[in-house]
């Protein structure tokens, strides 16, 4: 079931960034330089078919926070309005009669929606690993393109969404992996612009117009014919399969299973931190060697663990116990291997700690997230 997703662009507040930034190696922050593809041009400047058990992990954290006289509610995520039969009956309370037609329609709809969505995630998965292996494109150049995309969408905050960014990056990697053509560094700029154009038309209600893509984003390096020609090449290479799940889809799905629907500040903060880390991982091709489901699970586990360690006022022994319980719960909910889950978390931690050293000239993630 393919649906258009829309939502406001998330802003990562300073609290969310704290544990990410405090341990990164220090570098002198140089001025932001746009990605070059030639000496004369610069880039834009400026299968589970049962109901999900809602909030499995939420109860664990709620029980711990209740000892501190605080309460966690569910995260409000409009992307997933899925409830099991019992919660639907409690929420709608349409009638004591379980055969109430409206209630049965709600239950049936939610059941089919959930099954379709799970099939969409786990049957239509696309691997983004080794996307530039057969091309003459440097890893650092791809990272600059991914970072530059953050700047582009950051300059259209009212019309583009977080999902648009992940769609554009996914299209770029999927195209590079599937194409039989050989591409080099000089081709990345046009490919990136075209992927941005496709993504904004797919995800945004008011997409970035072609005139902006040519003039404002591409600075007239490529005319509209070249952009549309590359767009056609990308679409035909992917056989128009452009609605594959993005890593953000897996993250949102897992976060819903862990915490259900919630607008609480604490969980919103954890969620925004997860999105921030996921964007960071998009820069590094080695992180894309992990399946998006595993990567999402490791990110959620890392963010929850850091929250417990930095925010909870319990004794160290209590935090260790709570951390173990939460990590075990995430592994069980995501249905991933525990050892691989731990390995992926270690790689995430290493990337966070070395990101500024590894990508010293890339600042758009910090500036526009």
Encoded tokens for 206 = 């008011």
pLDDT of residue 14: 52
pLDDT of residue 313: 62
Residue 251 and residue 183: Cα distance in Å, rounded?
31
* Residues in contact with 218: Cβ distance below 8 Å, sequence separation at least 6, in sequence order: 44, 189, 193, 227
* Packing angle, helices 139-154 and 188-203, rounded to 10: 40
Nearest to 296 by CA among 166, 114, 147: 166
Handedness of CA 79, 84, 87, 91 (dihedral sign): positive
Q: Euclidean distance between the first and final Cα of the chain, in Å?
A: 29
pLDDT of residue 93: 43
Residue 14 and residue 48: Cα distance in Å, rounded?
37
**Which one-letter DSSP state was computed for residue 289?**
G
Encoded tokens for 292 = 């998006």
- In the chain, which stretches have pLDDT less than 50? 1-12, 19, 21-34, 36-42, 44-52, 67-95
pLDDT of residue 229: 97
Residue pLDDT, tens place only, 46-99: 444 444 455 667 766 666 655 443 333 333 332 233 333 344 444 444 445 556
Residue 344 and residue 353: Cα distance in Å, rounded?
14
pTM here? 0.74
Nearest to 260 by CA among 84, 25, 131: 84
pLDDT of residue 48: 44
Q: How many CB atoms lie under 10 A from the CB of residue 268?
A: 18
Q: How many CB atoms lie under 10 A from the CB of residue 62?
A: 17
Residue 186, phi-psi category: left (phi > 0), alpha (psi -120 to 50), beta (remainder): alpha
Q: How many helices (H) and strands (E) does the chain have?
A: 15, 0
Nearest to 11 by CA among 215, 272, 331, 359: 272
Q: How many CB atoms lie under 10 A from the CB of residue 22?
A: 9
Residue 191 and residue 178: Cα distance in Å, rounded?
14
Q: Are 351 and 284 in contact (CB under 8 A)?
A: yes
**Which one-letter DSSP state was computed for residue 131?**
T
Residue 15 and residue 11: Cα distance in Å, rounded?
11
Q: Are 35 and 189 in contact (CB under 8 A)?
A: yes
Element (H, E) at 103: helix 101-123
pLDDT of residue 140: 96
């Amino acid at each position: 079931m393919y649906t258009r997703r829309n939502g406001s662009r998330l802003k990562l507040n300073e609290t969310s960034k704290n544990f990410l930034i405090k341990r990164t190696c220090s570098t002198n922050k140089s001025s932001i330089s746009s990605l070059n593809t030639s000496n004369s041009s610069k880039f834009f400047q400026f299968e589970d078919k049962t109901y999900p058990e809602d909030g499995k992990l939420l109860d664990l954290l709620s029980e711990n926070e209740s000892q501190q006289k605080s309460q966690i509610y569910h995260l409000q995520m409009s992307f997933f309005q899925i409830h099991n039969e019992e919660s639907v009956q409690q929420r709608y309370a349409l009638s004591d009669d379980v055969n109430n037609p409206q209630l049965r329609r709600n239950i049936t709809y939610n059941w089919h929606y959930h099954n379709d969505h799970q099939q969409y995630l786990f049957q239509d998965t696309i691997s983004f690993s080794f996307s530039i292996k057969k091309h003459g494109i440097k890893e650092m150049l791809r990272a600059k393109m991914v970072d530059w995309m953050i700047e582009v969408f950051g300059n259209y905050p009212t019309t583009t969404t977080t999902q648009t960014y992940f769609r554009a990056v996914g299209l770029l990697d999927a195209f590079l992996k599937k194409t039989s053509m050989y591409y080099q560094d000089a081709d990345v700029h046009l490919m990136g612009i075209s992927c941005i154009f496709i993504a904004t038309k797919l995800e945004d209600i008011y997409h970035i117009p072609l005139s902006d893509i040519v003039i404002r984003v591409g600075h007239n390096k490529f005319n509209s014919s070249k952009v549309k020609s590359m767009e056609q090449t990308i679409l035909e290479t992917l056989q128009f399969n452009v609605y594959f799940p993005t890593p953000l889809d897996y993250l949102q799905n897992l976060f819903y299973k862990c915490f259900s629907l919630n607008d609480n500040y604490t969980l919103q903060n954890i969620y925004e931190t997860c999105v921030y880390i996921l964007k960071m991982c998009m820069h590094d091709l080695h992180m894309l060697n992990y399946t998006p489901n595993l990567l999402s699970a490791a990110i959620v586990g890392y963010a929850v663990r850091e929250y417990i360690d930095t925010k909870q006022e319990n004794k160290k022994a209590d935090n260790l116990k709570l951390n173990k319980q939460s990590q075990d719960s995430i592994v069980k909910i995501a249905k991933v291997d525990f050892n691989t889950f731990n390995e992926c978390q270690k790689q995430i931690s290493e990337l966070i700690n070395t990101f500024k050293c590894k990508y010293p000239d890339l600042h758009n993630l910090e500036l526009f997230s």
